[in-house]
Structure 1
Amino acid sequence: MKQSMKKLLTMLLTLAMMLALAACGNSTETGQPAAPEASQAVESNQPENTEASQPQAESDLAYVKAKGKLVIGYTVYEPMNYTDANGNFTGFDTELAILVCEKLGVEPEFVEIDWNTKEVELNSKAIDCIWNGMTIDEERKQNMEITQPYVKNAQVVLVKKGTSYEGTASLIGKTVVAEQGSAGEDTILNDENLKQADYVPKSLQTECLLELKAGTADAAVLDLTLAKTMTGEGTDYADIEIVDFLAVEDYGVGFRKGSDICAEVNKIFDALLADGTMGKLAEKYGLELAD
């Protein structure tokens, strides 16, 4: 009897041990993962290296070089960008841009734009820069990357010869024209007397000269650089003269805000100033370089 009981107890203990081992095996397969795997799971939940995962800002210079060209926005504005009597597209800014593009290792592509929407075209990448006798001012410096000043300019009042002019007060109630979105327009809107004139914005500065010549405008406020070139003896506007200087300013080339092309162009400007190239070009077009 005792022997039978011993055998029974041995069998029960053996069965219990087998069941315990089976239970352990099942918990390993279907339960929590082993320690090394748990460690890996914790590591996978750690935040990624933010510096490596942040996308780098695109280099504007790299973008332009990848295209192989710099798209230059301009309006017809003698002596900066215009077509001469022989049908050649030329001008101070045109020639200067060609020289700079050669140094950058890209081709220049000139695209005529609407001056009033120049910033929109620049930011949409329809153009890569505004290179067209653009006046440097605080608002533009906030919205664009602008080169160092390279040419001096001023806003001047033009009238037909023989017109009585005694300062801007004599234009109160008269018709005055300027290019829309230009420094000339800003000058009119900020002058106490010219604000009381009948201001009519035009699409181009050359249209303003046509209005003066036709007698449909009493005065125009334009860039000195254009006025000197297009009026006086031997021009189509020999009967129009400059009678007043209202604002002295500088020109710069505008790029997209943050563009790294701007710094490269400044370096090229410095080199062209140092070797006299820019001075000779300014003399050719009757311009004065910025200080």
Structure 2
Amino acid sequence: MKRKFFTAIIMCMISMLVISGCSTNKKNKNEVVVGLDDTFVPMGFKDSNGKLVGFDIDLANEVFKREGMKVTFQPIDWSMKESELRAGNIDAIWNGYSINANRKKQVNFTKPYLANRQVIITLANSQIKTKSDLKGKSVGVQNGSSSLDAVNKDKNLVNSFSGGKPVLYDNNNEALMDLESKRIDAVVADETLARYYINKRGESKYKILQDNFGEEEYGVGVRKDDNQLRAKIDKEIDAMKKDGTYDKIYKKWFGTLK
């Protein structure tokens, strides 16, 4: 009799766990966690008041508002972004995330929503005029970034850098601060960040070379099997481009820059 009683209790507990799990999954369908590097100006970063702001923040907020979904922005180690996605700690990578062949193997990308280049930034009075002038120079790049991927493709040039490799930074802000302090000679970074940063700090201080490390496009990365979330993002960004909302957000962060 006791055995039947305990069996009944166990079965009841299992049923409650199953029901609880189902309800949690249902809840999660209306929630999304976006992983980002919260120092990536102007895509997603903390302002002087510690508030998370940026082009991608505004875009994501509008997308998920239209979908009736709650969005949470989770700062992550950018070099671990794909691992965080696979582990289920985040649902999307949305932070100036460049589309490339290697990343396509790891994530499910949305359609591109913004064009970008990997530009070379120096101080205005620098003698560096072209990409080849980087030979023997200290070149800063964010670790785990598409900028680093782009630079490393030119192995001969990288081998000619001071130290035979780029100087790696946790974020672009640190790299640009070292450039200002003349601890390094150049920085390779996304043009979106470079233009915004230079506009805020003073255009007379810097120059962006005509040479670059390649053109690319930004997309949102979701898990390989998450076609539903990808489709929702694509649908709403397409709608925002048609109704003018996308252009309004773009102008807020980039002015007339195209």
TM-score, structure 2 as length reference: 0.82
Q: Which runs of 4+ in 1 moved over 4 A?
A: 62-65, 287-290
Any residues of structure 2 matched to 1:151-170 within 5 Å, and which?
Answer: 151-170=114-133
Q: Deviations over 1:95-121 (max 9, x none)?
A: 111111112222111111111000010
| 2:34 and 2:71 in contact (8 A); partners too | yes
Match of 2:17 in 1: none
| 2:116 and 2:190 in contact (8 A); partners too | yes
**Greater relative contact order (CA < 8 Å, ≥ 6 in sequence):** 2
Match of 2:177 in 1: 210
Match of 1:10 in 2: none
Q: Deviations over 1:136-166 (max 9, x none)?
A: 0111112101110001110000111211123
Percentage of pairs with the same residue: 33
Match of 1:270 in 2: 238
Shift of 1:179: 0.6
Question: Mind listing any 5+ residue stretches in structure 2 that lack a counterpart?
Answer: 1-23
Any residues of structure 2 matched to 1:8-23 within 5 Å, and which?
Answer: none
Instruction: Give the letter for the 2:71 counterpart.
Output: P
For residues 258 and 287 of structure 1, the distance between their equivalents in structure 2, rounded to whole angstroms, comes to: 37
For residues 133 and 275 of structure 1, the distance between their equivalents in structure 2, rounded to whole angstroms, comes to: 23
Instruction: Give the letter for the 2:32 counterpart.
Output: L
Q: Secondary structure at the match of 1:148?
A: coil
Instruction: Give the letter for the 2:161 counterpart.
Output: A
CA RMSD of aligned residues (A): 2.2
Match of 2:3 in 1: none
In the alignment, which of 145, 157, 170 is matched to residue 193 of structure 1?
Answer: 157
Corresponding position: 1:248 with 2:211: no
Q: Secondary structure at the match of 1:133?
A: coil
Q: Deviations over 1:54-112 (max 9, x none)?
A: xxxxxxxx947536421110112111111234543211100111111112222111111
Corresponding position: 1:280 with 2:248: yes
In the alignment, which of 239, 242, 247 is matched to residue 205 of structure 2?
Answer: 239
Match of 1:59 in 2: none
| 2:129 and 2:209 in contact (8 A); partners too | no
Question: Mind listing any 5+ residue stretches in structure 1 that lack a counterpart?
Answer: 1-61
Q: Report how many aligned residue pairs link the two structures.
A: 228
Q: Secondary structure at the match of 1:222?
A: strand
Q: Secondary structure at the match of 1:271?
A: helix
